[in-house]
Chain A
Amino acid sequence: MGDPALSRRGFLAASAAAGLSMTALSACGGDSDGGSSGTTTIEWWNISTTQPTKDVWAGLAKQFEAQNPDVKIKIVQLENDAYKSKMTALTASGKLPDIFHTWGGGVLKQQIDAGLVEDLTDRTKEWADGLLPVAREPYLFDDKAYGIPFDIGMIGFWYNKALFKQAGISTPPTTWSGFLDAVRKLKSAGITPLALAGKEKWPGMYYWAYLAMRTAGIDALQKASDDKDFTGEGLVQAGQHLQDLVDLQPFQKGFLGAAYSSPTGQAATVGNGKAAMELMGQWAPVVEADMGKGLGTNLGFFPFPEVEGGQGALTEVFGGGGGHALRAGAPQAAVDFLKFFASAATDTELVKKTGVLPVVPAAESALTDPNLKAVQTQLKAATGFQLYLDQAYAPAVGQEVNDSVAALIAGSKSPQQVTESITKVAKEEQ
Chain B
Amino acid sequence: MTSTFLPDKRSGPDVGLPSPAADTGRGRARRRALHWLTAVGFQVPALVLFGALVLLPMLFALYASFFRWGGFGMPEDYVGGDNFTRLFEDPVFLGDLWRCLVLVLLSLALQLPFALALAVALNQRIRGRAVYRMLFFAPYILSEAITGVLFGMIFAPDDGLADHALGAIGLDGVGGQWFADPSTVMATLFLVMTWKYFGFHMMLYLAGLQSIPAELTEAALIDGAGPWQRFRHVTLPLLAPTLRISVFLSVIGSIQLFDLVWVTTAGGPDHHSETMAVTLFQHGFKRYQVGYASAISVAMFAISLVFALAYQRFVLRRDLEGATTTLRGGGS
Quote the shortest CB–CB distance from B154 to chain A (angstroms): 11
Quote the shortest CB–CB distance from B248 to chain A (angstroms): 32
Interface residues on B, range: 35 or more
B192 within 8 A of A: no
B288 within 8 A of A: yes
Residues on the B chain within 8 Å of A92, using CB: 72-73
Contact B268 A262 (CB under 8 A): no
Interface residues in A1-56 by Cβ distance below 8 A to B read 1-2, 4-6, 8-9, 12-13, 16
Residues on the A chain within 8 Å of B269, using CB: 198-199, 256-257, 406, 410
A175 within 8 A of B: no
Residues on the A chain within 8 Å of B159, using CB: 264
Interface residues in B184-206 by Cβ distance below 8 A to A read 185
Residues on the A chain within 8 Å of B288, using CB: 395-396
Closest residue of chain A to B71, judged by CB? A88
A407 within 8 A of B: yes
Interface residues in B66-81 by Cβ distance below 8 A to A read 68, 72-73
* Total A-B contacts with CB atoms under 8 angstroms apart: 95
Interface residues in A163-205 by Cβ distance below 8 A to B read 198-201
Interface residues in B1-20 by Cβ distance below 8 A to A read none
Residues on the B chain within 8 Å of A121, using CB: none
Q: Known: A88-B72, A410-B182. Is A2-B45 also a contact (CB below 8 A)? A: no
B270 within 8 A of A: yes
Quote the shortest CB–CB distance from A1 to chain B (angstroms): 5
Q: Known: A5-B44, A406-B270. Is A12-B153 also a contact (CB below 8 A)? A: no
Closest residue of chain A to B267, judged by CB? A199
Contact B180 A396 (CB under 8 A): no
A254 touches which one: B68, B158, B271, B287 (CB < 8 A)? B158
Residues on the A chain within 8 Å of B57, using CB: none
A80 within 8 A of B: no
Contact A399 B282 (CB under 8 A): yes
Interface residues in B152-178 by Cβ distance below 8 A to A read 152-153, 156-160, 177-178
A4 touches which one: B41, B177, B270 (CB < 8 A)? B41
Inter-chain CA distance A113–B167, complex, in Å, is 61
The number of chain A residues with a CB under 8 A from chain B is 36
B45 touches which one: A8, A407, A410 (CB < 8 A)? A8
Contact A399 B286 (CB under 8 A): yes
B42 within 8 A of A: yes
Residues 38-57 of B, flagged 1 when their CB comes within 8 A of A and 0 if not, give 10111011001100100000
Q: Which of A9, A201, A256, A258 has the most CB of B within 10 A?
A: A256
B270 touches which one: A89, A200, A256 (CB < 8 A)? A256
B266 touches which one: A9, A200, A412 (CB < 8 A)? A200
Inter-chain CA distance A350–B241, complex, in Å, is 67
Q: Known: A1-B38, A8-B45, A256-B182. Is A263-B268 also a contact (CB below 8 A)? A: no
B212 within 8 A of A: no
Quote the shortest CB–CB distance from A393 to chain B (angstroms): 11
A253 within 8 A of B: yes
16 A-B contacts (beta carbon < 8 Å): A5-B41, A5-B42, A9-B44, A12-B49, A16-B52, A92-B72, A198-B180, A254-B157, A259-B152, A264-B156, A264-B159, A399-B282, A400-B287, A407-B271, A410-B182, A428-B68
Q: Which residues of A contact B (CB under 8 A)?
A: 1-2, 4-6, 8-9, 12-13, 16, 88-89, 92, 198-201, 253-259, 262-264, 395-396, 399-400, 406-407, 410, 412, 428
